[in-house]
A and B are shown apart, each in its own frame.
Chain A
């Protein structure tokens, strides 16, 4: 384990003990929720992790570099942002997926665009959002989120 992970475990353990002392029932109940959340997501998590293995085995790093690398950043960023908008995987598993692609040579710009639209733009949840907040709100929010996701990604490309 790297230091970061170890530190996180320690901080979490301390929080847990402190909260446990404060209110035992509440804290134990929240652990039930943790278990429930994990159970609900574990299938998808493993699916994506195993998928990473397939990608790394069958897509040569050179191809990843060509498709998602520095050479055609604008197109790959736009496409990544689009894919992120329609994909329905939990953000939680998106990080190892994107991390593996970056390790294999993908540029950070499309990666950032994908991660941002994945969570902020919801084509699939569009009907739900429209029903609660109306068409104008939903269209404006999703469009702006898409545009800003691309801006964020491009600025990141300049900074990093």
Chain B
């Protein structure tokens, strides 16, 4: 059972391991060579991986997101654009984790210009990723790509802002959350496991997505849950009263 679960959760890894097993049976020499070739990158990765993840999480926890989100309005001007770059650069998770945040900011009156900046910055110029880029491709590569990317993002935001109007964007989306008063939107959950670790009575992570295991929220837990909801990096949890 355990093995099956592992295979299902790690399809790519399972395939690669299978190739290696076959290789070691058929051409042990080549197999050894492949392991040797991988080793350099494995070691480099192990050196940098923990720092990148720790840094990502520290930034996620300490950048005052709520304050930044609240300062978005109709006319946030230059400050709004800078903040948009900041939000994107210090985020965790892939681009889709930014969708709920952007949607919420749109409702608050953020411009399409800034939404494009957040989405794009979230995708390509996250600080922890830049670190990884320096490590494997060098500082010059990273620096130049960063400058070009930031410029492109601003141009892109300008163009999209001209083409797409606010009324092209649907206001309410039908609920894709699970049923119940406490729910997780699995489309956006990045499986970081924060919720299940902070309050395991309510959440469990299965196949890299969180789900609710208890739906009746007691008054006593409410406050704690609300805190966790605000911490979820993908804003994927919702609690209805």
Contacts and interface: CB of A to CB of B under 8 A. Distances in A.
B160 A137 contact: yes
Nearest to B42: A49
Interface stretch (A62-70, A75-83, A151-159): A151-159
Given A1-B47, A33-B193, A116-B149, A134 B169 contact: yes
Contact of B132 (A27, A56, A92, A152): A92
Given A37-B192, A39-B193, A131-B173, A51 B156 contact: no
B164 A140 contact: yes
Interface string B170-200: 1001001000000000010011111011100
Contacts of A43: 9-10, 12-13
A52 interface: yes
Nearest to B171: A134
A56 B37 contact: yes
A91 B137 CA distance: 13
A148 B132 contact: no
A95 B135 contact: yes
Given A12-B54, A34-B56, A116-B149, A5 B137 contact: no
A160 to B, nearest CB: 7
A97 to B, nearest CB: 9
B112 interface: yes
Interface string A10-26: 00100110010000001
A122 interface: yes
Interface string B36-73: 11110110110111111111111011100000000000
Contacts of B233: 33
A67 to B, nearest CB: 18
B41 A129 contact: no
A60 interface: no
A45 to B, nearest CB: 7
A12 B55 contact: yes
Contacts of B52: 92
Nearest to B99: A132
Given A4-B135, A155-B148, A44 B193 contact: no
Interface residues of A, number: 76
- Interface size class on chain B is 35 or more
Contact of A30 (B33, B37, B57, B99): B57
Interface stretch (B77-85, B90-98, B215-223): B90-98
A155 to B, nearest CB: 6
Given A8-B48, A12-B54, A45-B45, A30 B148 contact: no
Among B48, B54, B233, the most chain A Cβ lie within 10 Å of the Cβ of: B54
A152 B37 contact: no
Among A112, A148, A155, A156, the most chain B Cβ lie within 10 Å of the Cβ of: A148
A128 B186 CA distance: 12
Contacts of B132: 92, 95
Interface of B: 9-10, 12-13, 15-17, 19-20, 23, 30, 33-39, 41-42, 44-45, 47-58, 60-62, 92, 94-96, 99-100, 102-103, 112, 115-116, 119-120, 123-124, 126, 129, 131-137, 139-141, 144-145, 148-149, 152, 155-156, 159-160, 163-164, 168-170, 173, 176, 187, 190-194, 196-198, 205, 208, 231, 233
Q: Which 6 A-B pairs have the closest CB atoms?
A: A36-B193, A53-B38, A99-B136, A30-B61, A43-B10, A34-B57
Given A30-B58, A119-B95, A133-B102, 12 more contacts: A19-B62, A31-B54, A32-B193, A32-B197, A50-B17, A56-B37, A91-B126, A99-B41, A132-B100, A136-B168, A141-B116, A152-B149
